Structure 1
Amino acid sequence: MQHLGFIFDWDGVVIDSHAQHEESWGLLFEELGRDMPDDFFKRTFGMRNQQIIPEWFGFAVGSDEEAITRLGNHKEELYRDILRRDGLEALPGVRDLLEELQSLGIPAAVGSSTPRDNIDLIMEMLGLTELFTGVVTGDDVTMGKPDPQVFLKAAESIQREPKHCIVFEDAYVGIEAGKRAGMKVVGVATTHPRHTLTDADIALPNLDGATVGSLLGALGIQR
């Protein structure tokens, strides 16, 4: 098993702050005097702010990158303020699985579109920092999911070949990115119904009770 690497998307896999993200987007729309469309969050979930803002806030693609970045950064500041106000917990089973990986010497990495400041804050809040060997964020890539760049960089960060990595994802674009990276993908049904995660190799309701042995068995990977 020493050749294996586990890569975790962040929101919807390690933590669930969908409500806080949706609230922060709503605050941004409100500040700009606009109504947030009902389907906005569902249609944009898993994408980088640099993909979302040009499409939904009236910027031409390739124009005014400074303004796009400024809006995106402000949205994330609103999100972090909400987290500090409300607190947060890791999703069921996450800590147990990460601790098992650490005990087995299998490295774990984050591969997420989330900005690094958000992940750093939540790692500190939940005491997860020491359980991850690598962290690749939206700040480290130029292409958002479904492009596989973030997962390929995450594999590099833990010195593992993509074909030996297992990705945990809840978003459709993330599942596609994991498959395009040549990795096995475990769908986690925190955002979408389990029966819709058909592009993943296996799908679970959450990681509660998941062990390295059970995951490898379900994926048909020899120990």
Structure 2
Amino acid sequence: MLGNFKGALFDLDGVIVDTAKFHFLAWNRLAKELGFTFTEHHNERLKGVSRVHSLEILLDIGRISLSEEKKQLLAELKNKWYVEYITDMDANEILPGAKEYLMQLRNNGIKIALGSASKNAPMILENLKITELFDVIIDGNSTSKAKPDPEVFLLGAEKLGLAPEECIVFEDAAAGVEAGKLAGMRVVGIGSTDVLKQADYVITGLFELVG
């Protein structure tokens, strides 16, 4: 179905685990502190986007202008709240079929990388007890450019020792799908075909690929 590939690169949020609800709680809390309403519809704009860029979007929604120093403090505050929310995560939070598909790939000799904007990715993988299923972890601590820039996926392929055309990307966000395509990789979108129009193939979850 997906053809031959030697490497698989996975986004974290919305693909392996659903941390979107925890991000929403933290951003919503921050918006309330700033005196405006942040909805789940607004939250869709933050999917697959770095923390700093997400804050810029949030401030734009609230029509608030702040100094760079204040922005940095708010970004750190949001992350502090988010970390509090995810500290108690465990393996039960893994999305259906995700662990099984990762193991299936490993058993077939496919190299696996994480390609996430999250700076908390290592902690989340540890909490989920699936760190050992990844050959390479590229997160927000490893990159300087946010999706849709292809940096995270190009770096992932490089660390795996593979050419971009030998890799396939699994993403749930439009910005991530675009990043994968710009990297010269095939992309499997996880979610809605209406949102992930650039993806080569769209599924509702990794459970569809297990077997």
Please report the TM-score for the alignment, with normalisation by the length of structure 1: 0.82
Per the TM alignment, residue 59 of structure 1 is displaced from its structure 2 partner at its CA by 4.4
Q: Does the Cα contact within 8 Å between 1:135 and 1:157 map onto a contact in 2?
A: no
**Structural RMSD (CA):** 2.3
Aligned equivalents of 2:184, 2:114: Cα separation in 1: 17
* Partner residue of 2:162 out of 143, 160, 163: 160
Whole-angstrom distance in 2 between the partners of 1:24 and 1:6? 30
Aligned-residue offset at 1:195 = 4.5
CA contact (8 A) 1:137 1:150 kept: yes
Residue in structure 1 matched with residue 171 of structure 2 by the alignment: 169
TM superposition shift of 1:100: 1.7
Q: Kindly report which structure 2 residues correspond to 1:41-120, keeping only aligned pairs within 5 A, or say none.
A: 41-57=43-59, 58-59=64-65, 64=68, 66-85=69-88, 87=90, 89-115=93-119, 118-120=120-122
Q: Residue type of the partner of 1:99?
A: M
8 Å CA contact 2:177, 2:199 repeated in 1: yes
Aligned residues: 204
1:37 Cα deviation from its structure 2 partner: 5.0
Which runs of 5 or more structure 2 residues have no equivalent in the other structure?
none
Identical aligned residues as a percent: 35
- Tell me which residue corresponds to 1:128: 130
Q: Which runs of 5+ in 1 are unaligned?
A: 215-223
* Residue number among 11, 14, 19 corresponding to 1:12 in the alignment: 14
By how many angstroms is 1:17 displaced? Answer: 1.6
- In the alignment, what sits opposite 1:219? none
**Which residue of structure 1 aligns with residue 145 of structure 2?**
143
For the residues of structure 2 that align with 1:133 and 1:2, how far apart are their CA atoms? Answer: 19
Give, in whole Å, the separation in 2 of the partners of 1:203 and 1:13: 12
